[in-house]
Amino acid sequence: MTHDTCLLSQKPIPVADRLIFALDVPGPDAARALVETLGDAVTFYKIGLELFMAGGYFELLDWLRARDKKVFVDLKFFDVPETVRAAVRQLAPHGASVATVHGNDAILRAAVEAAGEQGGDLGILAVTALTSLDQADLNDLGFACDPKTLVLSRARRALEIGCRGVISSGLEAAELRRNLGDKLLVITPGIRPVLNRPADDQKRTLDVEDAFLSGADHIVIGRPIRQAPDPRAAAAAIQARIARLFATTGVV
């Protein structure tokens, strides 16, 4: 894969925050134990639906914030606009950095407006196309276009509405950067930092350096860290790769 190094993120993001760990575990006790294990190797956590359904979600969010961890709330709000607006109002006081919303312009606009009303720093992230979907899946869902076209269209609308950023596969991040510049935060899940990627439910994946050189601002990694024999060492190794990439290209 060839890269245009000018796509490397220029945003003033602390290098340690560029890795977001997906805290996908069965419950809050397991989550807290894993956070303690990872220590200072991870500064930014994504907490999603599994933990939400386990109970104690907001208590966990507050616990992370009390330890100076940044939090990405990945609940993909998708409902009628006023319901999404109300949900974002409930979330905003808890100090999360960003939250995902999945829907049309009216839904995204309601979320952005609700986040702004609270006077905090909650950013809304628009979901473009899940990294678990490939072209065949999009065809099944009735989208008469390729993933890049769909992602770029949704990202343009998200930017116009005032979203802080988008969730996008690294395979589409370069197209976003070339068309939209540095205006949107691009968070890229589905990162598989291994040479021989095992089969799993992520179909549109990239390695660590590939994702950043394609324009990602943050990458989201879960299983490759969580399932490692030494999760802290695995996270630290990825952090070292990220720091080396940004240091050698002059971006800090």
Share above pLDDT 90 across residues of the chain, in percent, rounded to a whole number: 67
Q: With 60 as the cut, is the pLDDT of residue 160 above it?
A: yes
Q: Looking at 46, 76, 183, 203, which residue is catalytic?
A: 76
pLDDT at res. 3: 53
Least confident window among 2-16, 20-34, 106-120: 2-16
Q: Which residues lie closer than 8 Å to 165 by C-beta, 6 or more apart?
A: 98, 123, 125, 126, 158, 184, 185, 186, 187, 217
- Measured N-to-C along each axis, helices 28-38 and 57-66 cross at an angle, to the nearest 10 degrees, of 20
Which burial class, exposed, middle or buried, applies to 10 when counting CB atoms under 10 A from its CB (0-12, 13-18, 19+)?
exposed
Nearest to 189 by CA among 125, 104, 136, 96: 125
Q: Write out the DSSP string of 101-146.
A: E-S-HHHHHHHHHHHHHTTS-PEEEEE-S-TT--HHHHHHTT--S-
Contact indicator for 107, 81 with CB cutoff of 8 Å = yes
What is the pLDDT, as a whole number, of residue 220? 95
Is 80 exceeded by the pLDDT of residue 131?
A: no
- pLDDT for the residue 206: 74
Under a CB-based contact definition with an 8 Å cutoff, are residues 191 and 208 in contact? Answer: yes
pLDDT given at position 197: 43
pLDDT for residue 250 = 61
| Residue 143: per-residue pLDDT | 54
Does the structure show a pLDDT above 50 at 107? yes
pLDDT for position 146 = 61
Q: In sequence order, what DSSP letters do the residues of 9-41 get, joined into one string?
A: --S---GGGGEEEE---SSHHHHHHHHHHHGGG
Residue bearing tokens 């409902």: 79
Burial label for 181, CB within 10 Å (0-12, 13-18, 19+), is: exposed
The CA distance from 111 to 113, in Å, is 5
Annotated active-site residue 46? The verdict is: no
Sequence-distant (6+) residues with CB within 8 A of 83 are: none
What's the Rg (C-alpha) of the chain? 17
pLDDT of residue 238 exceeding 60, the answer is: yes
Residue 242: give the domain boundaries: 5-248
Task: Check pLDDT > 70 for residue 222.
Answer: yes
The band of 251, judged by pLDDT with boundaries at 50, 70 and 90, is: low
pLDDT band at 168 (very low <50, low <70, confident <90, very high): confident
**246, 248, 250: which is closest to 16 by C-alpha?**
246
Inform me whether the pLDDT recorded for 181 exceeds 70.
Answer: yes
Q: What is the per-residue pLDDT for 130?
A: 47
What per-residue confidence (pLDDT) applies to 198? Answer: 44
Residue 13's CATH number: 3.20.20.70
Evaluate if pTM is beyond 0.75: yes
Query: Given this model, what pLDDT does residue 12 score?
Result: 93
Mean pLDDT score, 112-117: 95
Total structural domains in the chain? 1
Compute the mean pLDDT over every residue in the chain, rounded to the nearest whole number.
Answer: 86
Assign 248 a pLDDT band (cuts: 50, 70, 90).
confident
Q: Per-residue confidence at 32, pLDDT binned at 50, 70, 90?
A: very high
- pLDDT reported for residue 192: 65
